[in-house]
Structure 1
Amino acid sequence: MITAIMQPTYLPWIGYFDLIDLVDEFAFLDDAQVLKRSWGVRNRIVSQNGETFLTVPLSGHSQSSTSTFVGTAIDSGDKWRKTHLTTIRHAYGKAPYFAEVFPQLETLMSAGHTTIGAFNIDFISTTAALMGITTPLHKTSALKGVDGRKDDRLLAICKAMGADRYLAAQGSAAYIERDQESGAFAGSGVELLYHNFAHPEYPQLNDGFISHMSIVDLLMNCGYAQALDIIRSGRRPMLTSAQLKEQLA
């Protein structure tokens, strides 16, 4: 069984959903630390001014090890929600699938989530289901006996889930591969593989194509029914540690 483990980011890019779609079981690392100005609290859309950031304000946030996705409160006011929805409306009001997608965003924004983890997980889970992704989703905060740091903890989570293969985002190689090839996964009985994704192009309202935007951009331009096929078109064979090292050389 292959699994992936990711922090629940805000309005993620399309590669995040390809990772979910690829695996047998997926876990949100919702007990990880939330960092200000990270993808956990912000993402980008394409507006008339080009790339535009949407950032969620956190309530009483201090950047400590206890500031986790599951425990960090969102600003309880409606101002940021209205601002994000207004910005999205102005950016995509003329997009082909605005009428299909925008009401879903309004519903999620008004659902009364109190933590950043709860909102992000609800958005990701709902969006994945609407696109036709059926991968079972879990939360690491609900698992027991998965202590440790970085790749040691990822390995413990894989074992707790019964996985024999772990599909990692390429960005995690910076700490997994730091001390030895495959890090804690070497000789562990859990094979480490890396996600390999070539960002596909799709119609946008702007001239040219801007990649790595929030999935909101794809959904507004192409709709839920077409989105998963477009995402899957960017899929490439998974990489071993050695293959990733060679590719990045």
Structure 2
Amino acid sequence: MIVSIMQPAYLPWLGFFDRIAASDIFILLDHVEIDRNSKTKFANRNRVRTAQGWSWLTVPIRSKGKHGELRLNEIEVNNETNWPGKHWRAIELNYRRAPYFADYAAPFRTLLETRWTHLADLNAAGLKIFMEALTLNKTVLSSSEMDCRETKDKLILELCRKVGATTYLSGPFGRDYLNPVDFEAAGVELLIHDYDHPQYNQSFDGFEPYMSTLDLLFNHGTGSLQILRSPHSLVKPERKAAETAAAAAERSVS
């Protein structure tokens, strides 16, 4: 049983769906606090291709007075501005001439015409649209509904145990906080998903990687899943040097 766990994302990029495609079960890590790291913060924003390069689409959220308490499944969307109209205009302006825009645009337009009060609901609805468009028939669960007690790396193992995982696909940042020894002890193989981003034809000259999957879908339609799948994305992590040395010392003593 191959399991992947990721925080919800707004109009996710290709690597997000490559990891889901490589899994049997995908768990939305939606009960933890929003990631404030600008390099990995995609819960409420993503990028679309433009003639000038790329542009952010950002969903405004209500955060005043909630610092340290912004759990993903509780975040409210700030609807004081017409951000959905702005997002749809940007999508339509930059993709209306794409080969498959007419085939896939309608559900995304409906997504943005719906009034959302919580970010998690918006992202979950968007995820469903993408998975149907990419014909990804996978089991999707939410951590907020799984009675989790642990945090950080122990939370990942707890979720893996709850669904009977034999393999866990971690993102590249897992190297910094996941201990392969713990996963071995739990009988779960740990693999790192290092996404090898493909190049493909976009609506404008040149190529910009790390766009929303909208970019691939509107330009390649039914061929999108084959393009986004990357055969060399999964690698085994190396044990941390200190842990390896400690294990060797323990063996020598015994």
TM surpasses 0.5? yes
Deviation (angstroms), 1:187: 1.7
Partner amino acid, structure 2, of 1:12: P
Secondary structure, aligned partner of 1:4 = strand
Cα RMSD for the two superposed structures: 2.0
* Match among 107, 111, 114 for residue 110 of structure 2: 107
CA distance in 2, matches of 1:164, 1:65: 33
- 1:185 corresponds in structure 2 to 183
CA distance in 2, matches of 1:22, 1:62: 39
Partner amino acid, structure 1, of 2:157: L
TM-score by length of 1: 0.89
CA distance in 1, matches of 2:220, 2:161: 38
Secondary structure, aligned partner of 2:232 = coil
User: Given that residues 2 and 168 in structure 2 are in contact (C-alpha distance below 8 angstroms), is that contact kept between their aligned partners in structure 1?
Assistant: yes
- 1:175 corresponds in structure 2 to 177
- 2:133 corresponds in structure 1 to 130
CA, structure 1 residues 63+192, in 2 after alignment: closer, same or farther (shift >3 Å)? farther
Secondary structure, aligned partner of 1:54 = strand
- 1:153 corresponds in structure 2 to 155
Partner amino acid, structure 1, of 2:13: W
Partner amino acid, structure 1, of 2:112: M
CA, structure 1 residues 210+169, in 2 after alignment: closer, same or farther (shift >3 Å)? same
| 212-221 vs 94-103, which moves further | 94-103
- 1:217 corresponds in structure 2 to 215
Q: Which of 1 and 2 has greater Rg? A: 2
The one-character-per-residue Cα deviations of 1:62-118 (angstroms, maximum 9, x if unpaired) are: 553431121001113460000011111111121111212221211111233221111
- 1:15 corresponds in structure 2 to 15
CA distance in 2, matches of 1:13, 1:227: 12
Unaligned runs of 5+ in 1: none
| 102-111 vs 181-190, which moves further | 181-190
CA distance in 2, matches of 1:23, 1:103: 28
The one-character-per-residue Cα deviations of 1:162-213 (angstroms, maximum 9, x if unpaired) are: 112111111232222xxxx426424222221111321111111222211111
CA distance in 2, matches of 1:21, 1:61: 37
| 21-30 vs 58-67, which moves further | 58-67
CA distance in 2, matches of 1:166, 1:23: 9
CA distance in 2, matches of 1:186, 1:64: 36
User: Given that residues 108 and 129 in structure 2 are in contact (C-alpha distance below 8 angstroms), is that contact kept between their aligned partners in structure 1?
Assistant: no
User: Given that residues 151 and 184 in structure 1 are in contact (C-alpha distance below 8 angstroms), is that contact kept between their aligned partners in structure 2?
Assistant: no
Deviation (angstroms), 1:35: 3.9
- 2:248 corresponds in structure 1 to none
- 1:162 corresponds in structure 2 to 164
- 1:25 corresponds in structure 2 to 25
TM-score by length of 2: 0.87
Unaligned runs of 5+ in 2: 242-254
- 2:244 corresponds in structure 1 to none
CA, structure 1 residues 197+161, in 2 after alignment: closer, same or farther (shift >3 Å)? same
CA distance in 1, matches of 2:22, 2:101: 27
CA, structure 1 residues 159+211, in 2 after alignment: closer, same or farther (shift >3 Å)? same
Residue correspondences, number: 238
* Match among 227, 232, 252 for residue 236 of structure 1: 232
CA, structure 1 residues 115+101, in 2 after alignment: closer, same or farther (shift >3 Å)? same
Secondary structure, aligned partner of 1:51 = strand
User: Given that residues 101 and 218 in structure 2 are in contact (C-alpha distance below 8 angstroms), is that contact kept between their aligned partners in structure 1?
Assistant: yes
The one-character-per-residue Cα deviations of 1:108-154 (angstroms, maximum 9, x if unpaired) are: 1123322111111111122112211001101000002x222211100
Q: Do residues 227 (structure 1) and 224 (structure 2) align?
A: yes
| 73-82 vs 10-19, which moves further | 73-82
- 1:76 corresponds in structure 2 to 79
Percent identity, aligned pairs only?
A: 31
Secondary structure, aligned partner of 1:166 = strand
CA distance in 2, matches of 1:89, 1:26: 30
